[in-house]
Structure 1
Amino acid sequence: MPDVITEVRDWLQQNWDPDLSRAEWLDRVVTAGWAAPSWEPQWFGRGLSGSQSRAVAAEFAKVGAPGSGQDRMNLWAATVHAAGSDDLKSRLLEGFLRGQLRGCLLYSEPGAGSDLAGLRTRAVRDGEDWVVNGQKVWTSFAQKADYGMLIARTDVDVPKHRGLTFFMMPMKQPGVTVRPIHQITGESEFNEVFFDNARVADTNRVGDVNAGWAILQLALGFERAIMGGSARTDRGKGPADGDLRKEGLRDLAIRLGRFDDPVLRQDIARIEGLQAVNRWNLARSKSAANKAERLSVLSLSKIAMSRILHESARVYTDLVGPESMLEGPDNPLGDATTFRALNAYFTSIGGGTDQIQRNIIGEKVLGLPREPDPFYDRPFRELPHDQS
């Protein structure tokens, strides 16, 4: 470990330049193998251990340099690296690591939200391609994405969890229509996506045909790890997000002269306690004995982050007081508080709802029995909602 730390520190000292463009900097990082240090050298890594990779990312963070830790925090690249073919990796990995390719998640559907295995978007084989028809919803950044991680039904004659296949779907093609959804925060990051005879090559398939549910769980594990370890709390529009982005609850309470309030102090302590437990669970997931245990523990982190954000929003609102009802650049503190309160609901839904996470924790962590499902082993074609 000391040799790796010395090496990355020396490299950063010689190469880090905050005046470089992001593209220029990422070119250096990817070329040197620091973007995804735990991956094999042939896939732009250095063959380091997971703990060494995290140590490298920490050294990057110390100097304010972006680009490292993508073996954990770049959802698209991590999924392709973990489960894609060598051909798919050779075509997509470098672009995702360099930020030249952007991705989105094509999972949820209007009729298959919490029960994602009930999805109805179909992919039908046509020679070397698959023809895709259907609809997805709540797709973040679909209007900017080059590829979408698509889960589609490829067999209706087997139970719903078995007839699914996972693809890297090209988004910029005829037959793919993206419609923005206006959000409560005033943004339009989420979208509806419609597929009308859109095509995806079989070489863009991730994993085996009809084995997409396992790939989906892998990708969801990466997503929950990302969401469990971080959360968006700023609006990202300049002056309007200033105070809350820069100050934590404790510092803001001191600045506003409220830190001597015993109830407020207790609320802040409770949130800091949740944050500490979440850090421990993330550490536990990294040392899990197997993938199933790691994915289950990540559900704890994901639901913990949801609770942290909701609790933090409540305390920020109490702390800021009536100003929390105001918005816009003329009211930066109120605007940021309002955004935090509204945006907290995103974490309760994205990456699997809080209710789904509780089911996973109950079954996989606590060992409770599954909820009864009379259609669990029935072919998808026979399910009550299926119209095919």
Structure 2
Amino acid sequence: MNADDLRREVAAWLAAEWDPARPAKEWLAAVVEAGWAAPRWPREWFGRGLPDELGHVVEEEFRRVGAPGTGQDRHNLYAATVLTFGGDELKRRLIGPMLRDEVSMCLLYSEPDAGSDLAAVRTRADRDGDRWVVNGQKVWTSSAATADYGMLVARTNWDVPKHRGITFFLFPMKQAGVEVRPLRQITNEAHFNEVFLTDAVVPDMHRLGDVDRGWGVLQTALAYERSVMGDRARAGRDATGMAEMGDELVALAREVGRLDDPVVRQDLARMAALRLVNGWNNQRAKAEVEQGSSSSVMSLGKLAMSRLLHESARVRTSLAGSRAMLEGPDEPVGDEANFLAFNAYFTSIGGGTDQIQRTIIGERILGLPKEPEADRDLPFSEVRRG
């Protein structure tokens, strides 16, 4: 099929099916059933088997009419990771519900002593027949209180170096032995949680990838996550969809009478340039990524997103002037400036800190010498703890 024929097919389907008033769940189910949710995936997994360039044609037609639901083969990191590494039984049971947004998910990666260095996780999973018993603590976990499943990295072998003894699981959250405690943020929200796991259980069929080979699975999952966050930066939104950039900042500059200020115009132009270059890097990364692999270029998009959000907050604060010292419903301009300035740090940490992204870019893209790791080749049981 060529692009023109596909475009006509998608347009005709949308003309017959799309209605903005249609219930979201019903609409998403129709998109999944038609194979448009993940058009690059095989038909047996709810796709159309299209090459990447034709997948973009589908997305363009959906965007043209403002219809959601497609592009999940690029943006649904949970379903994409399960498709790549899960067994057929697990895929048959969960990929459809994940695409239809019938399953709530979270990421059980970071720990109090394993944030920037995820390979240092100490949450342990011990095999017990056809299941694993999990004990440990995770932190900075979004959506943990409502999640049905969590993507869990756990230590399964303590006698090999740290990167080689990790296994990746799709962990059931609704069970005894899982305690979730919210963490209050500087913005007075509580998007993150601590999760305590005490003799919790995960079936072996929920393992993604081979035993002790979870580090590679994690790298692929992180690449999907960084791709999503980088795309959101290119679209001008932060990780929660709350920070409008671009046109909104231009409108604010006009409102406060500073649109002709050369410094303000330079700030706005700098942000536009960052978004444009980030878009190019996203395209470059996606051209390099094949199913089941990862791309270090994704770190450029993730870092660009963080930079854009901090820049947006800085420019907004400058435009607000003395009003930025105020907050609350009676001063919406200052309130928004304050919130965005604080919330920008959310993306400097989530999905891998800015410092980690710079290390990846330096080592894997620029070819700079690697940071020294004295414990890299030691059995993890011999690694010193602070």
TM-score of the alignment, normalized to the shorter chain, above 0.5: yes
Corresponding residue SS for 2:297: helix
Structure 1 position 73, deviation (Å)? 1.0
Structure 1 residues 52-81: Cα deviation after superposition (integer angstroms, max 9, x where no partner): 222212221221211111111111111111
**1:37 to 1:158, Cα distance in 2 relative to 1, 3 A:** same
Q: How many residue pairs were aligned?
A: 381
| CA distance, structure 2, for counterparts of residue 227 and residue 234 of structure 1 | 6
Name the counterpart of 1:304: 304
Is 1:377 matched with 2:377? yes
Is 1:94 matched with 2:114? no
Corresponding residue SS for 2:168: strand
Name the counterpart of 2:14: 12
Q: Is contact 2:281-2:300 (8 Å) kept?
A: yes
The equivalent position to 2:29 in structure 1, one of 27, 32, 38, is 27
| CA distance, structure 2, for counterparts of residue 104 and residue 255 of structure 1 | 40
1:4-153 equivalent positions in 2, closer than 5 A: 4-153=6-155
Name the counterpart of 2:271: 271
Please, what is the CA RMSD of the aligned residues?
2.0
Corresponding residue SS for 1:370: coil
| AA matched with 2:129 | G
Name the counterpart of 1:164: 166
Structure 1 residues 26-66: Cα deviation after superposition (integer angstroms, max 9, x where no partner): 11111101111111111111111122222212221221211
**1:289 to 1:227, Cα distance in 2 relative to 1, 3 A:** closer
| CA distance, structure 2, for counterparts of residue 5 and residue 211 of structure 1 | 41
Structure 1 position 351, deviation (Å)? 0.9
Structure 1 residues 202-254: Cα deviation after superposition (integer angstroms, max 9, x where no partner): 00000000000000000000000011111544988xxxx7x957943223222
| CA distance, structure 2, for counterparts of residue 235 and residue 9 of structure 1 | 30
| AA matched with 2:132 | W
Structure 1 position 290, deviation (Å)? 6.4
Name the counterpart of 1:364: 364
| CA distance, structure 1, for counterparts of residue 291 and residue 200 of structure 2 | 34
| CA distance, structure 1, for counterparts of residue 182 and residue 377 of structure 2 | 36
Name the counterpart of 2:221: 219
| AA matched with 1:296 | S
Corresponding residue SS for 1:130: strand
Is 1:320 matched with 2:316? no
| AA matched with 1:19 | A
| CA distance, structure 1, for counterparts of residue 105 and residue 125 of structure 2 | 20
| AA matched with 2:139 | V
Name the counterpart of 1:205: 207
**1:375 to 1:292, Cα distance in 2 relative to 1, 3 A:** farther
Structure 1 position 140, deviation (Å)? 0.6
| CA distance, structure 2, for counterparts of residue 147 and residue 293 of structure 1 | 23
TM-score by length of 2: 0.94
Name the counterpart of 2:342: 342
Relative to structure 2, which stretch is displaced further, 123-132 or 49-58? Answer: 49-58
**1:61 to 1:269, Cα distance in 2 relative to 1, 3 A:** same
Relative to structure 2, which stretch is displaced further, 192-201 or 245-254? Answer: 245-254
Q: Is contact 1:235-1:339 (8 Å) kept?
A: no
The equivalent position to 1:194 in structure 2, one of 189, 193, 196, is 196
| CA distance, structure 1, for counterparts of residue 377 and residue 291 of structure 2 | 25
Structure 1 residues 249-302: Cα deviation after superposition (integer angstroms, max 9, x where no partner): 223222332111011111111111111111110111122276899521111111
| CA distance, structure 2, for counterparts of residue 103 and residue 79 of structure 1 | 12
Q: Is contact 1:234-1:339 (8 Å) kept?
A: no
| AA matched with 1:346 | F
State the identity as a percent: 58
Structure 1 position 324, deviation (Å)? 2.5
Q: Return 5+ residue gaps in structure 2 as ranges.
A: none
Q: Is contact 1:285-1:293 (8 Å) kept?
A: no
Q: Is contact 1:153-1:163 (8 Å) kept?
A: yes
| CA distance, structure 2, for counterparts of residue 233 and residue 131 of structure 1 | 36
Q: Is contact 1:286-1:294 (8 Å) kept?
A: no
Structure 1 position 333, deviation (Å)? 2.5
Q: Is contact 1:233-1:245 (8 Å) kept?
A: no
Q: Is contact 1:233-1:340 (8 Å) kept?
A: no
Q: Return 5+ residue gaps in structure 1 as ranges.
A: none
| AA matched with 1:12 | L
**1:290 to 1:87, Cα distance in 2 relative to 1, 3 A:** closer
Structure 1 position 325, deviation (Å)? 3.0
**1:43 to 1:208, Cα distance in 2 relative to 1, 3 A:** same
TM-score by length of 1: 0.94
| CA distance, structure 2, for counterparts of residue 369 and residue 188 of structure 1 | 39
Corresponding residue SS for 2:260: coil
